[in-house]
Structure 1
């Protein structure tokens, strides 16, 4: 199976440069629909779904390969290699920020830049490091996900999205969570929320932009600032947006920040 088939890769745009957009946990490539059209005039735009998400091929799931974020990073590299892409501008939301970083650390020649939206290298508080959650909190969330996928989705979507004045955003996120196969959702959640990539940040030499939102319940500002401090030469922008999914709730602000970074 080709990586293009496996990951349901879609390509648009006519530019000579490439932008690759990578979705977060429980989401798919459709979440970028408010952002990508603004870049299609000047870039080739590549969208895809991680294995277990969206319309990817479920038969490609391998528990061992995807036991860490490195398996998903390997998929990103395979897509780039198969499409013979050069100097990719990678935009990753949430967990995809770390997946993109791992891919760029392994194959730096493939990447022109990395944009991280709401990144977190580790969600669990440890010593002086503040990730936003105690380990017991994460374990409780994972246990609830195992026992009641739809209930977890209904509870977490409004918290993750924020923006209570726009309940339609949370409803879309909940629908996306519920569409994901429970087995894949449970597995990817464990890999995401129990990962610790703090030691990898200083290895990233690719030009990097960190986009942070106010009132982000998943990756609070202190985490974004930590990522900025640890990645040499990175840029940090506080968006005029709230919640964890600004590409849904405030796509214009996300687009503007990325444009200013790239152009």
Structure 2
């Protein structure tokens, strides 16, 4: 059976321009997360938005628990979308785990990519003593996954305000909680497990596409040590510290994030 990739991943193409920006959402989210960023770029770039299978308005019946038991399965989604649209030399913008998904895709097919922009991305979420700090002990991740299993709604309401920060703007955490809750609990839990147990450190040296690492302050998912590690091990990378707090600057501080992206793409 032939699968329509553009339907499978609910692909949208907007804007106009010679170069394409592909926006890739993180765990528990969908392409709606980019709605405050897209207007800053659609006049000068072609914009591609999509949902990973199992997220947003993708074709959930095509979710394959074997394929998506590894970040490489998601990287294949990225490559499928790029091939279907006949893209090349794109700017790939990956939030959170999508920074690593995009990097894995770029190692396999670098011709599709000209630049990478990673927002709050981490090559390894789990601490690895004595010389790597990812922000989580194994017991932290185990507890998070157990909470997802036992009480998915409770997990969403617990996690959303912690990772969003910006407690003075409660509507941000509320939106994130609604997004989490709209996911299929079984798929979300598997994506969480794949994300938080992933280890992409050995792949960093294989990546060749120039990249910008956007590091938020006070990010409970990707602390500053993670951004420093990425920058130190990813050749052709730039690290930019943002004043934005939390893990979702595309929602909380879209103007600052868009300006950081524009500066990088303009060579500033």
| TM-score, scaled to structure 1 | 0.99
Partner in structure 1 of residue 66 of structure 2 = 64
Cα deviation, residue 41, structure 1: 0.8
Cα deviation, residue 59, structure 1: 1.0
Cα deviation, residue 147, structure 1: 0.8
Corresponding residue to 1:152 among 152, 155, 159: 155
Q: Distance in 2 between matches of 1:63 and 1:184?
A: 8
Corresponding residue to 1:186 among 172, 186, 189: 189
Any idea what SS the aligned residue of 2:213 has? strand
Cα deviation, residue 220, structure 1: 0.3
Cα deviation, residue 85, structure 1: 0.9
Partner in structure 1 of residue 251 of structure 2 = 248
Q: Distance in 2 between matches of 1:248 and 1:202?
A: 31
Q: Distance in 1 between matches of 2:97 and 2:213?
A: 13
1:169 equivalent in alignment to 2:167: no
Cα deviation, residue 69, structure 1: 0.3
Corresponding residue to 1:261 among 221, 239, 264: 264
**Aligned ranges 1:29-178 → 2 under 5 Å:** 29-127=31-129, 128-178=131-181
Any idea what SS the aligned residue of 2:46 has? strand
**Aligned ranges 1:177-256 → 2 under 5 Å:** 177-256=180-259
How large is the Cα RMSD of the aligned pairs?
A: 0.6
Give CA-to-partner distance per residue, 1:105-139, whole Å, 9 cap, x none: 11001101000000111111012100001001100
Q: Distance in 1 between matches of 2:80 and 2:26?
A: 19
Q: Distance in 2 between matches of 1:144 and 1:69?
A: 22
Q: Distance in 2 between matches of 1:133 and 1:249?
A: 23
Cα deviation, residue 190, structure 1: 0.5
Q: Distance in 1 between matches of 2:92 and 2:83?
A: 14
Cα deviation, residue 143, structure 1: 0.6
Any idea what SS the aligned residue of 1:92 has? strand
Cα deviation, residue 50, structure 1: 0.6
Any idea what SS the aligned residue of 1:192 has? helix
Give CA-to-partner distance per residue, 1:55-105, whole Å, 9 cap, x none: 000111001111100000001001000100111100000000000000001
4+ aligned runs moved over 2 Å, structure 1: none
Cα deviation, residue 173, structure 1: 0.3
Give CA-to-partner distance per residue, 1:118-167, whole Å, 9 cap, x none: 01111110121000010011001001011111000000000010110111
Any idea what SS the aligned residue of 1:62 has? coil
Give CA-to-partner distance per residue, 1:29-69, whole Å, 9 cap, x none: 00000101110011100000011100000111001111100
Could you list the runs of 5+ residues in structure 1 that have no partner in the other structure?
none
Cα deviation, residue 2, structure 1: 1.4
1:11 equivalent in alignment to 2:10: no
Q: Distance in 2 between matches of 1:43 and 1:258?
A: 13
Could you list the runs of 5+ residues in structure 2 that have no partner in the other structure?
none
